[in-house]
Amino acid sequence: MDWRTDPTFEMCRKVTDGSDLASFSGGPFDVRAAVASILPEPRQALDLDAVPWGNFPHGYDVREAVSLLRAGSEPVVDATGVLWGLCADDSWAAAALAVPYLIPLAVNAHHPHRTAALAVLSGPARARHHGVASREEFLLHRNDPQRHAPDTHDDYGYEVTGYPAGWSVAAARAAITTATTAILPLLGDSDPTIRVDAAYVLATAADPAHTIRTALANGFATEGDAMVRAALLLAAAEITRAHPHPPTVRWLRERWHDRAEAPEARLSAAVGWLCLTDQSAPEELRRTVDTLADDERAHAMEALPWMSAASGTNEPGLLRRRRCMLHPEEPDPEEVLWDSLF
């Protein structure tokens, strides 16, 4: 069936024309309800037909991608490319349906595609974050419960299909939050890439009891890899932006102050701290960032998904963040490039 002719598109059309979004809440085209129906815990044998893939744009493409990943099929890039592509194209709903199926693969140390599954797991749990590098918006979860009721319009707006993006993000985050206990051990995995990506995934989960932040801090205390240390700090900052926690803000300040700390960790702590406070950037922080954020280190830190997501044309994420947060008077290389073409 052409998705544009089915009832889901009709729902989207009605909402964009002014119908009350809440009137569709919990119905057959609410991805949050679809995901909730197969929670609370990830299961390797979860039936692929337990959710209505066809009710959401590109749903059957996502089902096929999940099926290939579960089967250990090659090349894995074809399956993950579908999920990456949908999120990059502002179409998260069907990708959110995949999250409960990807979690068992990611936490299975023996699955051949666990790294790939973990890498794409939190894609639908974030939206409208690519290229974001300002203090005002970096690490920001845009569905603030203090400002938005669950079934009203939030700052995520609509997907390219017209589907409410906030519903997709909420569905993915709910699945990740439910699986927190299963994902947390990945912070101690022998593979540093797994540890980084686990931190990136956990940063999207709800953490009212500070369970995740405690695990991040404990992991940081014993972590020897500089890039993983940086990831743990960014994850703590992201969670704290969603769930304010003054001790974490103080901890991040201590980390960028610490001259004995790895440069990558100091930079991540400085960026995270800037996003959690309204204070003007101290001169010491400016000197620290300007000294440590050189081209070589910026390119190396593209291994952190927070940084790569902010990258611009010929500008790694770290340098883009330094410019936007500390030197807004400097020209945007992307704008300079475009201006030179016309």
The pLDDT tens digits for 275-309 are: 999 999 999 999 999 999 999 999 999 999 999 99
Q: Grade residue 187 by pLDDT with cuts at 50, 70 and 90.
A: very high
Distances in Å between the Cα of 60 and the Cα atoms of 48, 53, 98, 259, 323 are 11, 6, 11, 52, 42
Long-range CB contacts for residues 247-256, cutoff 8 Å, separation at least 24: 248/213, 248/276, 249/273, 249/276, 249/277, 251/217, 252/276, 256/285, 256/288
- Rounded Cα distance between 193 and 117, Å, is 12
Question: pTM of the full predicted structure?
Answer: 0.91
Q: Higher pLDDT residue, 79 or 43? A: 79
pLDDT average, residue stretch 117-129: 91
Task: Return phi, psi of residue 266, to 5°.
Answer: -60, -40
Please write the tens of the pLDDT for every residue from 232-264. Answer: 999 999 999 999 999 999 999 999 999 999 999
Which pLDDT score, from 0 to 100, does residue 144 have? 65
Distance of CA 239 to the CA centre of its chain: 11
Amino acid at 249: V
List the one residue out of 205, 235, 196 whose CA is nearest residue 217.
235
Q: Grade residue 113 by pLDDT with cuts at 50, 70 and 90.
A: very high
pLDDT average, residue stretch 126-148: 81
Give me the numbers of helices (H) and strands (E) for the chain, helices first please. Answer: 18, 0
Please write the tens of the pLDDT for every residue from 65-77. Answer: 999 999 887 778 7
Which pLDDT score, from 0 to 100, does residue 149 have? 61
Which pLDDT score, from 0 to 100, does residue 272 have? 97
Which pLDDT score, from 0 to 100, does residue 75 have? 76
- Rounded Cα distance between 265 and 178, Å, is 29
Query: Residue 317 is inside which H or E element, if any?
Result: helix 317-326
Which pLDDT score, from 0 to 100, does residue 4 have? 58
Helix intervals (H) in 185-304: 192-202, 211-222, 226-242, 246-257, 263-275, 283-292, 295-300
Q: Under a CB-based contact definition with an 8 Å cutoff, are residues 271 and 236 in contact?
A: no
